[in-house]
Every structure is written in structure tokens, then in C-alpha cells.
């Protein structure tokens, strides 16, 4: 049979637009003699619809919209993700059940509906909040080229069954299945393709049936996280050989003509992915898609300091929006050095981006003068320093309001975790582009950006200068990033207990891929004793907990890791568990 894997990019809540896209793909597939076309999970609604699923009119409208597809399924079979529902009277009221579902259509008829069984409830997944699990699992039979074909259809989490009592794919297999189909909205993280492949091949080894995996692509959000979906839809033969694979981070409909009862003669090698490239392209896609879908932003503004963080943000924006649609602003005070100002200017020139300078010292002097003459003398050093960041935030938000351009926030994961950012200052913005990147990954992805551009667009000096916010004379970031960055990442992404992390240091079992030597070749074990490392971990953990209130007020973060700040990592401001005194006692 000829199978079409329709790796599309739905828009959340755009029922008319999504249905139009689905219909167009079906109409394009039919002249190419496709027997069956398969769309991603919740293709009709978009996956991240959150509490919109509580709107019964929306849910009802999505099913009505789905039925508009029926006339397009003449001489072709289509499998489409949508939201199914049922309602009935119960004890004087109406009970309304929603199902994450796949519709099977053929020759203008609805041949069957499959409901998702395994409902994930971790990270930012909330399936149990909205959906009812399938009561049963049955194959769907369709006629293809005059023959009856049994389709074992599952939805996303249904194949990730190792920690569940119910095994949807196994249940389908014992009922006699010719072809497994799994439709997805599976988010990106580096190396995710190989985790999916391992899971799919586990099912194929057991059941000996070919397997089609269709994933969505693009960006969605849950209010605090911009979630990136990477596509890479794939088809495996009955021996686990890779028959076809779609591109990463792109919409694509992949056509595969194969005998589903036999192994392909020349299976493909699994694609090779470079971690820094995957992250870079996920950020570009996430930024571009979020801007397009959320407010139809066509321009971006980036405050640039001469540091590595804003340099990477500017390079990403140049690719996402086009250099002609990005403006870089340098906003120096008397504390900004000639070096950082020259780096910022050179960066913008290298990227072909418009560069503007707004000096802020006069504004800072005036604000302090007005405040102190009307209220009291400012005594706190941090309050004085943060004025610079807040003036910059004010000016950049003014530019965003005036021009309609999207303001990008440049904080990285390490800074956001430790509270080393100014609320209503450098945290201003419509999106946090690198907020899920540890500081050391910022350097790595920036190096890749230069490779991608084929030249040194991010000046070497940006990599070499000592990180500084330049908020006062002689002020530098108070962190040894080669050590602090991975400590924070282990606490945030892997959710390691501080005491556990200290014990790993004691046994010299820290993740060598994260705790890499610094530029002088010194390792964390060269720099620290158990006591000093333990003190540093406790300090980072304390800062992590004390800065929650800032993070919760920051812009949405593009997710490119296995755990990100936002609704992916749900924190509370009021939290007395794990006070550092208690942890020290445990340690």
C-alpha cells in the first residue's frame, strides 16, 4: 500500500484553518495514489488547548468540523486526531466525557473512532484533567486495494506502556493487526528520536508488524511554556527496519509505497543529530511559530549588551524573523565598557541587523533625583543597580508597544534559576528565547551558530569576556559557571536532591557530560573539596527557592530540555520544605 504521513503544524483552536489544511493534504495525496493518509494527535484542535477543552461548544464544534472532511475521503482512507465526546443525563444532571481520539474515514464514511487509553499526567501533560481513558481497544478494518486491512491504532502515550498496567499495543496485536499506527503530539528534547525508535522497535520485536509513527510539528503553549514539536515522523517495517523518516522541525507529507507484509530491501540508517544543532533549530522554530501564531508578530527587538546571552538571542532572531525584521538596541550607562559596546555593535553589523543606541545614564540620574527629593535617599546598592535594568526594560517595552515588535528576553536557565535577573527589568519581554538553556549550553549553541553562519557572526570577544551585567563599577557575575551551571541544571532538570548531588561529588560520579573542565582544563574535582562543593550546592539551592516569585512573573520560556521552568516545573512561592538548614542537618 502507499502510505502518506502528514506531518502538519496545526494552530491551537483554529478549527477552520486546521480542517482546511487537513482537507488540502488529503486532496493532494489522492492524485499521488495514496491509499491511506495519517495525521497527528489532535490535529483538528491543536494539542495544547488547556482549559479550552472545558468549553463544550468548542469540543462540539471540533467534531462537527471533523465531519466536514468526509467528502474528501473518496477513494482514500484518512486517520485524523480530534477530540471526541459523549454526554448523557445522570442523576438529574448531564455528564460530559471527552476523549483524545482518532477518526478513521474512508470513501465518505466514518469507519471507526479510537480513544486514547494511557493519559499522561507528568511534566506539562494534563490528559487526566480533561480526558476519559478508552474503555476498550479494538482494531479498525478498512478496505485497501480490494483487501481487508486491520489497523491497530494507538495515540501517543499508548506506546509508552512500560509503567502502565494496561498495554494497548499488545492488546491490539493479539486481535490480529496488519499495521500499527500511532499518532502523536510528542514534544522535542535533544535525542528524543532515539527514545521513540527504541520504544517502537520493542513493539515490533514482540509483534512482528510494521509500525507507522506520525508526529506533529511546530509550537504550542500552555501559558508559561512554549512547547516545541519536532516531527520526525517515521515508518518501520515488520523487522524494525526504518523504511522512511520525515524531516525535523518542518511540515512535510511523506509518501511511502511498501509491502506491509515484508521487510524493506534496503532499510535506512537512523538519522544523525547533533545536540547543539537540534537545540538551535528548535529555538528558531519555536520563536518563529510562537510569533506567528500568538500575535502575528513579524518583527523583533533585542536589547544587546555585548555578552554571550544577548548575542545568541540576536542570532536566533535574525534567522527566525530575517535580519531586516530585527532591531538591536544597546542601552549603555556610565558603567558599560568600550569593549562590550563595541562587541554589541560588531554583532549587529555581522548579522546585518539595524543597530541603535539609547544612553540611559541621564534617565537614571533624573529618576534617582526625583525619587530622593520626593521620598528618601536610596541606600540599598542593589536597588541602585536594578534601576539600570528597569530603565532598559521600560524603554524596550515602550519600543515594543510603539512598533508592535516582539521584545525578546535574554535570560538563561542558570540566571533565571538563581534569581540573577531583574524583575520588571531585563525580565521584560514577550518571550524568553534561551530561558531553558544552562549558561554553558549558551556558549556551545553560540559556537554552533557561528558554524551555521559559516563565519564569526558572534565575535570571539563575546565568548572570552568575564560575564557581567555592568550595573556598577567592577561588577561581575558572582558565579563560576562551569560548576554552577551544571549544578543548577541537575537540581532543575533531573530534580536531584542537593544531598544526593553532594554525595555524587563525594563518590566522583557527577555527570561528566555536564560537569566539563573549564577553559583552563580544571575540573570540578580540582576546584572543590566535598565541603566547598556542598556549600556551593546549598547556596544554589537556596537561591533557586528564593527566586520562585520572579520566575512566575517572567515571560513564557521555549522548552528544549526534559524539564523547564514554567508549567513544566510547577513551583510555589510559599514552600518551607527543604530549607537549607534542614538539608545541612541531613547532609
Q: Which residues are catalytic?
A: 41, 116, 156
- Its sign, for the CA torsion 222, 199, 114, 130, is negative
Burial 340-377 (b: 16+ CB within 10 A, else e): bbebbbbbbebbebebeeeebeebbeebeeeeeeeeee
The number of angstroms, rounded, from the C-alpha of 343 to the middle of its chain's C-alpha atoms is: 30
The contacts of residue 55 (CB under 8 Å, 6+ apart) are none
Kind and range of the H or E element at 431? strand 431-432
**Packed helices 498-506 and 530-546: angle between N→C axes, nearest 10 degrees:** 160
Counting every residue, how long is the chain? 587
**Do residues 182 and 214 make contact, with C-beta atoms less than 8 angstroms apart?**
yes
**Do residues 558 and 431 make contact, with C-beta atoms less than 8 angstroms apart?**
yes
Cα separation of the two ends of the chain: 62
Three-class secondary structure assignment of 528-556: CCHHHHHHHHHHHHHHHHHCHHHHCCCCC
CA distances to 15, 66, 77, 194, 360 from 80, rounded to whole Å, are: 13, 8, 10, 25, 55
**Do residues 537 and 415 make contact, with C-beta atoms less than 8 angstroms apart?**
no
DSSP 192-208: HHHHHHHHHHHHHHHH-
**Do residues 12 and 219 make contact, with C-beta atoms less than 8 angstroms apart?**
no
Distance CA 433, CA 559 (A): 9
The number of angstroms, rounded, from the C-alpha of 139 to the middle of its chain's C-alpha atoms is: 33
Distance CA 584, CA 499 (A): 8
Distance CA 48, CA 167 (A): 25
- Ramachandran region, residue 413 (left: φ > 0; alpha: ψ -120 to 50; beta: rest): alpha
Q: Cell numbers at residue 65, please? A: 468540523
**Do residues 69 and 19 make contact, with C-beta atoms less than 8 angstroms apart?**
yes
CA distances to 118, 134, 225, 424, 563 from 125, rounded to whole Å, are: 12, 17, 12, 30, 12
Torsion of CA 6, 195, 413, 508, to 10 degrees: -170
Amino acid at each position: 500500500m502507499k502510505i502518506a504521513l502528514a506531518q502538519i503544524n496545526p494552530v491551537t483552536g483554529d478549527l477552520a484553518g486546521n480542517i482546511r489544511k487537513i482537507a488540502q493534504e488529503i486532496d493532494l495525496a489522492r492524485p499521488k495514489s495514496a491509499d491511506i493518509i495519517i495525521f497527528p494527535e489532535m490535529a483538528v484542535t491543536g494539542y495544547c488547548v488547556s482549559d479550552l477543552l472545558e468549553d463544550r461548544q468548542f469540543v462540539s464544534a471540533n467534531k462537527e468540523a471533523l465531519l466536514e472532511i468526509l467528502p474528501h475521503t473518496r477513494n482514500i482512507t484518512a486517520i485524523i486526531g480530534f477530540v471526541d465526546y459523549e454526554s448523557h443525563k445522570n442523576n438529574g444532571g448531564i455528564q460530559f466525557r471527552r476523549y483524545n481520539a482518532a477518526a478513521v474515514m474512508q470513501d465518505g464514511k466514518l469507519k471507526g473512532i479510537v480513544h486514547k487509553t494511557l493519559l499522561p499526567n507528568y511534566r506539562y501533560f494534563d490528559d487526566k484533567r480533561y480526558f476519559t481513558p478508552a474503555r476498550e481497544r479494538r482494531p479498525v478494518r478498512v478496505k485497501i486495494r480490494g483487501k481487508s486491512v486491520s489497523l491497530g491504532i494507538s495515540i501517543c502515550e499508548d506506546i509508552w506502556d512500560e509503567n502502565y498496567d494496561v498495554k494497548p499495543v499488545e492488546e491490539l496485536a493479539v486481535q490480529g493487526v496488519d499495521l500499527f499506527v500511532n499518532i502523536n503530539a510528542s514534544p522535542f528534547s535533544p535525542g528524543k528520536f532515539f527514545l521513540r525508535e527504541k520504544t517502537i522497535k520493542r513493539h515490533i520485536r514482540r509483534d512482528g508488524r510494521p509500525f507507522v509513527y506520525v508526529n506533529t510539528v511546530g509550537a504550542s503553549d500552555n501559558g508559561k511554556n512554549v512547547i516545541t514539536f519536532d516531527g520526525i515522523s517515521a515508518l518501520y517495517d515488520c523487522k524494525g527496519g526504518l523504511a522512511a523518516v520525515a524531516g525535523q522541525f518542518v511540515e512535510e507529507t511523506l509518501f511511502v509505497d511498501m509491502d506491509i507484509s515484508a521487510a524493506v530491501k534496503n532499510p535506512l540508517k537512523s538519522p544523525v543529530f547533533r545536540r547543539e544543532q537540534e537545540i538551535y533549530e528548535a529555538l528558531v522554530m519555536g520563536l518563529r511559530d510562537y510569533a506567528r501564531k500568538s500575535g502575528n508578530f513579524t518583527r523583533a527587538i533585542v536589547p544587546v549588551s555585548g555578552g554571550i546571552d544577548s548575542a545568541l538571542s540576536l542570532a536566533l532572531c535574525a534567522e527566525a524573523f530575517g535580519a531586516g525584521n530585527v532591531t538591536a538596541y544597546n542601552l549603555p550607562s556610565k558603567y558599560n565598557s568600550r569593549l562590550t559596546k563595541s562587541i554589541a555593535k560588531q554583532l549587529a553589523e555581522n548579522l546585518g541587523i539595524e543597530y541603535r543606541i539609547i544612553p540611559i545614564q541621564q534617565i537614571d540620574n533624573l529618576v534617582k533625583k526625583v525619587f530622593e527629593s520626593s521620598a528618601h535617599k536610596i541606600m540599598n546598592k542593589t536597588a541602585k543597580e536594578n534601576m539600570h535594568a528597569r530603565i532598559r526594560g521600560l524603554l524596550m517595552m515602550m519600543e515594543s508597544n510603539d512598533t508592535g515588535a516582539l521584545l525578546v528576553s535574554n535570560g538563561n536557565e542558570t540566571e533565571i534559576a538563581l534569581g540573577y535577573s531583574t524583575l520588571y527589568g531585563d525580565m521584560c519581554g514577550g518571550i524568553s528565547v534561551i530561558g531553558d538553556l544552562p549558561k554553558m549550553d549558551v556558549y556551545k549553541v553560540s559556537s554552533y551558530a557561528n558554524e551555521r553562519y559559516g563565519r564569526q557572526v558572534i565575535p570571539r570577544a563575546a565568548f572570552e569576556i568575564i560575564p557581567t551585567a555592568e550595573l556598577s563599577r567592577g561588577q561581575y557575575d558572582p558565579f563560576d559557571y562551569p560548576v554552577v551551571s551544571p549544578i543548577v541544571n541537575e537540581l532543575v532538570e533531573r530534580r536531584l536532591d542537593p544531598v544526593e548531588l553532594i554525595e555524587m561529588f563525594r563518590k566522583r560520579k557527577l555527570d561528566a557530560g555536564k560537569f566539563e573542565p573549564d577553559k583552563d582544563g580544571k575540573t570540578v574535582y580540582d576546584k572543590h573539596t566535598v565541603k566547598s562543593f556542598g556549600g556551593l550546592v546549598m547556596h544554589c539551592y537556596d537561591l533557586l527557592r528564593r527566586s520562585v516569585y520572579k520566575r512566575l512573573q517572567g515571560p513564557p520560556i521555549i522548552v528544549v530540555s526534559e524539564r523547564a521552568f514554567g508549567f513544566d516545573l510547577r513551583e510555589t512561592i510559599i514552600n518551607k520544605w527543604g530549607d537549607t538548614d534542614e538539608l545541612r542537618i541531613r547532609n
